[in-house]
Chain A
Amino acid sequence: MWSFFHKLGSPPWLYGIAGTIVRWLLPITIMALLAGAAWGLLFTSPDFRQGNSYRIIYIHVPSAVVALAGYYVMAIAGAVSLIWRMKMADVAMKAAAPIGAALTFIALFTGALWGKPTWGTWWEWDARITSMLILLFLYVGVVALYEAFDNKVAAGRACAILSLVGMVNIPIIYKSVDWWYSLHQPASIKFSGESAIDSSMLYPLLLMIGAFYALFTCCLLMNMRAELLQRESRTAWVRKLVEQDGAH
């Protein structure tokens, strides 16, 4: 167990294992995304009230779910780097922020496109949508704050604090549809009890949620690999890597 943590702190080990995971996981992820999108777009029946516009659910819900999960990854990595000064946690925190921003943007953008034919409006300043917009600002804020510092140790600390303070937004997003009167519907999928969604729509949705989690994992590891190379570019292991492989 402790040797595992010890290895986690070793950049060459992490670089190698992340590369191996991505090589296996990325093709599976892309296939699952394509299969899930085709299933949701072409092979399911339309919703009896919303018609075909509901097909946006297969990207809207997974991107929103994983955008929230990604925030935990970023904030926990930030806490670990803040408390234990673990450099690899700082790398993970920095790697998670742009992916989270991209996923939150997808959730908001597809939500607007779904809202127009369903609610008659692109945007509504209601609790769920506004709190998701704040999530986007938090992710973009972490990316921008990191770039704003020349001293990257201070940058990491400031970003970790920002992501931890931003954690208050997460329960607000989850509970926003229950606490306030909202245009946005409450959750349809529940861990316990009957889900308010037919199984013919649930299975492709679950496939897409799994695929988006895998996508987040792949992107996180790829960003971490690039970040590790940049930070360690003057070390012996990177030189050895370049000498072995050439520049590819």
Chain B
Amino acid sequence: MYFDSVQSALSMDGHGSFVWVAYLVTLLIISAILLLPTLRRRRLLHRVATELARQESGHANREGPR
């Protein structure tokens, strides 16, 4: 470990705010590009599942009166 205290690691001799903000924003963007496709895929799977369920109940209703 280069820094001897948490305080010095945070301040980095005055450059800390630049360095930590750069890493924080990068972390946020990387989290977003990893989460967004997962959420989109789950939403799509869910939509297909509801569609299938609706079709099945629709078939059941149609079979009734016939």
Name the contact of A114 in the complex, choosing from B3, B9, B18, B46 (C-beta under 8 A). B18
A155 to chain B: closest CB distance in Å?
Answer: 18
Query: Residue on B with the closest CB to A62?
Result: B26
Give the total of B residues in contact with A, Cβ under 8 Å.
34
Instruction: Say yes or no: is B22 at the interface (Cβ < 8 Å to chain A).
Output: yes
Residues of A within 8 A of B21 (CB): 113
Residues of B within 8 A of A230 (CB): 40, 44
Chain A binding site: helix, strand, loop or mixed by DSSP? helix
Q: Are A116 and B18 in contact (CB under 8 A)?
A: yes
0/1 interface trace, chain A 221-243, chain B, CB 8 Å (1 if under): 01101100110010000110111
Q: Are B41 and A226 in contact (CB under 8 A)?
A: yes
Q: A46-B2, A56-B19 are in contact. Are A239 and B33 (CB under 8 A)?
A: no
Chain B binding site: helix, strand, loop or mixed by DSSP? helix
Binding site for A on B (CB under 8 A): 1-3, 9, 12-16, 18-19, 21-23, 25-26, 29-30, 32-34, 37-38, 40-42, 44-50, 52
- Sample of 7 further A-B pairs with CB below 8 A, known A37-B23, A215-B30, A247-B48: A59-B22, A102-B29, A219-B37, A226-B38, A226-B40, A229-B41, A247-B42
Binding site for B on A (CB under 8 A): 26, 33, 37, 41-46, 51-53, 55-56, 59-60, 63, 98-99, 102, 105-106, 109-110, 113-114, 116-117, 215, 218-219, 222-223, 225-226, 229-230, 233, 238-239, 241-243, 245-248
